[in-house]
Homo-oligomer: A and B are copies of this chain.
Amino acid sequence: MARGAYHHGDLRQAMIDAAEAVLAEKGVAGFTLRECARRAGVSPAAPAHHFGNITGLLTAVATLGFDGLADAMDHAAEAATEAGGNRLRAIGEAYVATALERPGRFRVVFGQRGLNADDAEFKRAAARAFGILVRETQSELPQAEVEQDLFSRLPPSFAGDPDLPEILFTWSVTHGFTTLLLDGQLDFLAGPGGRVALQKLHSEKLVALLLTALRTREPVR
């Protein structure tokens, strides 16, 4: 018998599914715990045993969001290697695509509704996603003699790392574009189906600019 299969069957999973659906439909602003419970067919107080409160539910969704990003990036990088493509471009595209595919998750991960940042699973997923970004950014840097064990000493104290600027640069470009696109800030630039067109612009042009910056590595004043 499956764990958690009592009255409902698997309320924990049902609540997460409902939460993702509500988030995708109504966004973070329109998200309510009661509606998720309603969709799962239980009373409003039922989820408390599984998640504590609404923050716990959102943290669970955010954990899935980080793991989804990490899975997509890992898979994309591997596929790029097999196809002879660039790995960093692949993970950038995967980042944007994953956010567009499951906007509910992404909005929770980087949204303003409170999360439980102390949650162990959440921290693990976040560190994993960031680790992939670190690894792929470093492998794109011109200096070949980069210490390979840098990833392994994550997460404690990344500050002072010589590659930190480039890592944050990569994340900023990718995350910034994704956020602007997903939040509709770029909608005025494009007509119908505009987000897909902008997504194409990202993978064809913005990633090229990113790679240029990383490979040049010359101080500019």
Contacts and interface: CB of A to CB of B under 8 A. Distances in A.
Contacts of A219: 208
Output the residue of A112, A164, A201 with the most chain B CB within 10 A. A112
The main secondary structure of chain A at its interface with chain B is helix
Interface string A187-221: 01111001001100110011011111111111111
A23 B12 CA distance: 32
Contacts of A202: 168
A4 interface: no
Nearest to A177: B172
Contacts of A41: none
How many identical chains are in the complex?
2
A182 to B, nearest CB: 10
A148 interface: no
B29 A113 contact: yes
A186 interface: yes
A111 B110 contact: no
Output the residue of A158, A212, A221 with the most chain B CB within 10 A. A212
A166 to B, nearest CB: 7
Nearest to A85: B221
Interface in A55-92: 86
Given A194-B159, A212-B213, A220-B215, A179 B188 contact: no
B114 A29 contact: yes
A44 interface: no
A48 interface: no
A184 B116 CA distance: 13
Given A86-B221, A209-B214, A212-B220, A201 B110 contact: no
17 contacts: A29-B112, A110-B179, A110-B185, A155-B188, A159-B191, A166-B209, A168-B198, A168-B201, A169-B210, A172-B174, A172-B177, A174-B176, A176-B176, A208-B219, A209-B214, A212-B216, A212-B217
